[in-house]
Amino acid sequence: MQVAEPLRTQCVHTIKFLAVDGVEKAKSGHPGMPMGNADLTFELFTRHLRYNPRDPKWPNRDRFVLSAGHGSMLLYGMLHLTGYDLPMDELKRFRQLDSKTPGHPESHITVGVETTTGPLGQGITNAVGMALAGKMLAARFPQHAGLFDFRVFGIASDGDLMEGVSHEAASVAGHLGLDNLIFFYDDNHISIDGETELALSDDAQKRFESYGWFVQRVDGHVPDQIRRALDAAVSKVGEGKPSLIIARTHIGHGSPNKQDSEKSHGSPLGKDEVALTKEAAGWPEEPTFLVPDEVRKVFADRAAELTADYDAWQEKVAGLTGDDKKLCDALVSPKVPSDLLDKLFAKARELAGKPEATRALAGKIEQVAARECPWLVGGSADLNPSCNTYIEGSPSVRKGDYAGRNVHYGVREHAMASINNGLAVTSGFVPFGSTFLIFSDYMRPAIRLAALSRLQNVFVFTHDSIFLGEDGPTHQPVEQIASLRLIPELRVVRPADALECAAAWAYALERAHRPTAIVLTRQKLAPLDNGAIDPRAMVRGAYRLADPKDATMVMIATGSEVALAVSAAKALETNGQRVRIVSAPCLEALEDAGEAAWNEVLPDDGLPRVSLEAGRTNGWKAIVGRGGLTIGVDDFGHSAPDKDLAGRYGLTTESVVTRVRAWLEAGAKSR
């Protein structure tokens, strides 16, 4: 779409001053970035971006990712102008309680926002996942060119490129040849502290070229340069290189006193400066939030122009038949087969009965899940032999060949989690990513955003305790499980045997729009006698593994400590104790099931409670009560064989029995 001057300038001023007025009214926000990027954004939305505001989730739409999420009013203004369900009243309620225009874009709140951004580096990394999803979708329909050929555009700031995760993601994008990824770098030379040269002297062009990107430089306020660069980047789609357009922009562009100043970054311009800026642009000071009719018509005409692309795609989908139609339906709207749980448990029963590590058991069960769910994809951070998550019978995803289901992320845990968020937010796939539990610390920002954004992302963590042994405290996770449980909406599942591993995978795959962490052992565990338990009780999060009618106490355990609880309970019987054993792979899931489910498993019946978990004990006090006994690990561990560590930390049958007896005797005396 071509827009002649001076109408183009009027459109750009509209974009700028919607942002300025929104921030000014809220008395909070970042006006400088939208002012500096209005020219870029206008050219992108009117020349290349394909979208349909009447069908915001159109699977083959182009994606626009504002990685510099602090400039959110730029995106909100564009969504309003392009016809999405974001009325002017919402722009006027920027950053207010329950508005659809929060301080940073959130995909589950605002229609048209592709992914939640704000923490710098996450948006551009999500965009890599979206671009990868596009390539993988297209590869599944080689006979139907154009069925999935969307591009992913975006704007990143200097802060995005400073964050380490963007380095990891840019390397992955170049390695995989994601040429459907086109980003602007808002090179405005200003950060919150002042000039970027205070902390940054990278040559972004050389860096991205070394990653395998096609890089151009433009003046971000010269329309002809922007158009030529965009045209060139789009022409490179299909040639194996993602694109970066380094745009020299001016933060607060047009502000007489705050252009090129950090003062326009995170604060309103102020009433007087707004008036001066509008005067300099020839823009009326009142009314605020002005959108001239001729500007509205530009964007309405663009939306009408794009209808042809949308209709052509619908015709392509309508023409699909047979297996292609079946696969397209499955990918566009993934659904869990109704008999998945039965098939996973059938496999688990084949595996039950002999000692085995849960990482090995879960890996074999995952193969059944992958066979039944063609939308399940993922990989590991260079740890396939240890995590056992490689999907058998499917090739690896490689540059130019995206038909496989196994993604090799390399030693890039931070990017893996965030790229998978990009896969998760794209219709077509439910991703998983695997690594050692200790390295969940590298992934935590993306895990938190998956929970906040309500993304179905499965995090598979192995080597889940001090019992990984000789690698020592640097690799022994003691606080990670407890800290992950603190993230709202994330559910952490720590299974104890084959059947619980099946329940864990069933739970994660059935849990649409929410992330799940499956936490698995390195060491082999003794099998449990739980074959008669209803599988749904396990999926629900916790169940009574042993339930004597005359129980005198309760032991609650997870993962590798469930077998320990069984062994200790048998020994305690000789002392007259009758132990109810609760296996609790995910107590939070049980709580989600409701009060009746909780009371069925853990009624408030006054029985003394003991918790067993090879990790921090502080969170368990809420479960066992102030008088309860928590057995676990409250320091960083040691480098030693697992059996020696069990002895040191009292995680043997003899040690548990001794502690429980002493605790019970002390309680009896106090009464």
Q: Give me the catalytic one of 413, 500, 561, 613.
A: 413
Give the residue ranges of DSSP H helices in 48-163. Answer: 72-81, 88-91, 122-139, 158-162
Long-range contacts of 9-14 (CB under 8 A, 24+ apart): 10/292, 10/294, 10/295, 11/42, 11/46, 11/295, 11/298, 12/38, 12/39, 12/42, 13/38, 13/281, 13/283, 14/77, 14/81, 14/290, 14/291, 14/292, 14/295
CA 62 – CA 54 distance, rounded (Å): 14
Fill in the DSSP letter of residue 468.
G
Cα three-residue angle 394-398-402, rounded to 5 degrees: 65
CA 368 – CA 340 distance, rounded (Å): 9
Cα three-residue angle 542-545-549, rounded to 5 degrees: 115
Radius of gyration of the chain (CA): 28
Fill in the DSSP letter of residue 286.
S
Amino acid at 467: F
Instruction: Please name the residues in contact with 155: beta carbons below 8 A apart, sequence gap of 6 or more.
Output: 37, 40, 41, 65, 66, 67, 68, 71, 183, 184, 186
Cis peptide preceding 287, ω within 30 of 0: yes
Q: Which two tokens stand for residue 570?
A: 């048998």
Instruction: Please name the residues in contact with 60: beta carbons below 8 A apart, sequence gap of 6 or more.
Output: 50, 147, 148, 149, 150, 313
Query: Strand, helix or coil at 146?
Result: coil
Query: Strand, helix or coil at 442?
Result: helix
Backbone angles phi, psi at 540, to 5 degrees: -65, -20
Query: End-to-end distance of the chain based on CA atoms, in angstroms?
Result: 83
CA 128 – CA 67 distance, rounded (Å): 11
**What residues pair up with 191 in beta bridges, in sequence order?**
194
CA 446 – CA 583 distance, rounded (Å): 29
CA 306 – CA 309 distance, rounded (Å): 5
For residue 413, indicate whether it is catalytic.
yes
Q: Are 362 and 525 in contact (CB under 8 A)?
A: no
Instruction: Please name the residues in contact with 378: beta carbons below 8 A apart, sequence gap of 6 or more.
Output: 389, 391, 405, 406, 407, 420, 431, 432, 433, 434, 458
- Catalogue the active-site residues: 413
